[in-house]
């Protein structure tokens, strides 16, 4: 899986387009007409890993994919550089997820890119509010302040293989529209990938059908879609945004939940600090393990791509929940 960075020989054009894009004036000539790469491939700019993965798997040899989020960078609070603003304005297709990375939302809106596909429009998004009501019933607090960046919906939609398959089909259609000459290949690849995601969904459904407990504790609230899909209950130390800090009250609540629900494991992630997870686990005498929200792939990730990391997640959940 390679992520092709933008090419070398086009500096004057880039500079001209940068000036135009930053000035917010007419964008004609930047990113229109030709696909922009000069090598016959469609230039796709994807905002973060799960969308890069879809573009690469569905686009194959017909596309060059540039990611806005560098591997190893936590994607929620990404900043967009002037160079990336240019990449967006010149892209043959932009893929992003509205409500996940505010700087990307703004830059996409200002880019004037000809073909833009918003991943959330291809599926249904889970209300962040449902999550909060559930906690309110249990007398819990500590989730305030996390939804301002998300427009009231939970952005972590790619962690539900069923919804991610719907997004794959939408990305296939968007590629076909942006590059009609290769439409048949895009549609075929999207179907194949959706089929693989359906198989992954069945693995999760079977693997988590019977467990000793349904509750798992995570660092940030990334696994709401996954929990809902497979009848589990996620308790997150922080909210939807990994930058937020848990209150002392929230830590006490988690201790109660862990005891009542016979939780065995506190999960942490590869891209954010594991300090609070380790503190909580230490206080309760619980194990720690990695549950990876697939927000980016690094050499520390428990797998080399979406499928490998998700299968590692399934194995970790089966172990922690006491699956049969």
Q: Residue numbers of the site for Zn ion (CB under 5 A)?
A: 222
Least CB distance to Zn ion at residue 222 (A)? 4
Closer CB to Zn ion, 41 or 131, in the complex: 131
- Closest residue to Zn ion: CB criterion: 222
Closer CB to Zn ion, 41 or 143, in the complex: 143
Closer CB to Zn ion, 89 or 101, in the complex: 101
Closer CB to Zn ion, 89 or 244, in the complex: 244
Closer CB to Zn ion, 17 or 240, in the complex: 240
Percentages of the chain per state (helix, strand, coil), in multiples of 5: 50, 10, 40
Least CB distance to Zn ion at residue 120 (A)? 14
Closer CB to Zn ion, 56 or 295, in the complex: 295
Least CB distance to Zn ion at residue 218 (A)? 10
Least CB distance to Zn ion at residue 208 (A)? 21
Q: In sequence order, what are the residues at sequence separation of 6 or more whose Cβ sits closer than 8 angstroms to the Cβ of residue 68? A: 45, 46, 47, 48, 78, 80, 84, 87, 88, 101, 104
Closer CB to Zn ion, 27 or 222, in the complex: 222
Can you give the chain as a three-state secondary structure string? Answer: CCCCCCCCCCHHHHHHHHHHHHHCCCCCCCCCCCCECCCCCEEEEECCHHHHHHHHHHHHHHEEEEECCCCCCCCCCCCCCHHHHHHHHHCCEEEECCCCCHHHHHHHHHHCCCCEEEHHHHCCCCEHHHHHHHHHHCCCCCCCCCCCCCCCECCCHHHCHHHHHHHHHHHHHHHHHHCHHHHHHHHHHHHHHHHHHHHHHHHHHHHCCCECCCEEEECCCCCHHHHHHCCCEEEECCCCCCCCCCCHHHHHHHHHHHHHCCCCEEEECCCCCCHHHHHHHHHHCCEEEECCCCCCCCCCCCCCCHHHHHHHHHHHHHHHHCEC
Least CB distance to Zn ion at residue 271 (A)? 9
Closer CB to Zn ion, 59 or 239, in the complex: 239
Least CB distance to Zn ion at residue 272 (A)? 9
**Is the Cβ–Cβ distance between 104 and 84 less than 8 Å?**
no
Least CB distance to Zn ion at residue 204 (A)? 19
Closer CB to Zn ion, 190 or 222, in the complex: 222
**Is the Cβ–Cβ distance between 105 and 95 less than 8 Å?**
no
Tokens of residue 83, six digits: 């160079």
């Amino acid at each position: 899986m390679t992520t092709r960075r933008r090419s070398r020989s086009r500096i004057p054009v880039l500079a001209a387009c940068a000036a135009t894009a930053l000035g917010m004036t007419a964008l004609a000539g930047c990113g229109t007409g030709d696909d922009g790469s000069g090598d016959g491939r469609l230039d796709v700019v994807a905002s973060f890993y799960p969308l890069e993965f879809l573009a690469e798997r569905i686009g194959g040899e017909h596309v060059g994919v540039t990611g806005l989020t560098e591997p190893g960078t936590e994607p929620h609070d990404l900043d967009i550089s002037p160079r990336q603003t240019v990449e967006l304005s010149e892209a043959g297709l932009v893929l992003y997820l509205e409500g996940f990375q505010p700087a990307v939302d703004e830059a996409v809106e200002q880019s004037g890119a000809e073909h833009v596909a918003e991943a959330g429009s291809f599926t249904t998004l889970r209300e962040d509010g449902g999550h909060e009501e559930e906690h309110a019933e249990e007398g819990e607090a500590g989730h305030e302040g996390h939804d301002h960046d998300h427009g009231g919906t939970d952005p972590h939609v790619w962690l539900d293989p069923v919804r991610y398959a719907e997004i794959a089909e939408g990305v296939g259609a968007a590629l076909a529209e942006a590059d009609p000459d290769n439409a048949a290949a895009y549609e075929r690849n999207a179907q194949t990938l959706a089929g693989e995601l359906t198989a992954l969904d069945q693995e999760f459904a079977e693997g988590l059908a019977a467990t000793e407990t349904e509750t798992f504790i995570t660092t940030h609230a990334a696994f709401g879609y996954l929990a809902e899909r497979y009848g589990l209950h996620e308790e997150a130390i922080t909210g939807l945004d990994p930058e937020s800090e848990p209150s002392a009250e929230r830590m006490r609540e988690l201790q109660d939940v862990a005891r009542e629900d016979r939780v065995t494991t506190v999960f942490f992630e590869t891209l954010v600090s594991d300090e609070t997870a380790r503190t909580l686990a230490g206080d309760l005498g619980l194990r720690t393990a990695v549950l990876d929200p697939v927000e980016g792939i690094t050499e520390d990730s428990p797998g080399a791509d979406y499928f490998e990391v998700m299968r590692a997640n399934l194995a970790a959940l089966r172990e922690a929940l006491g699956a049969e």
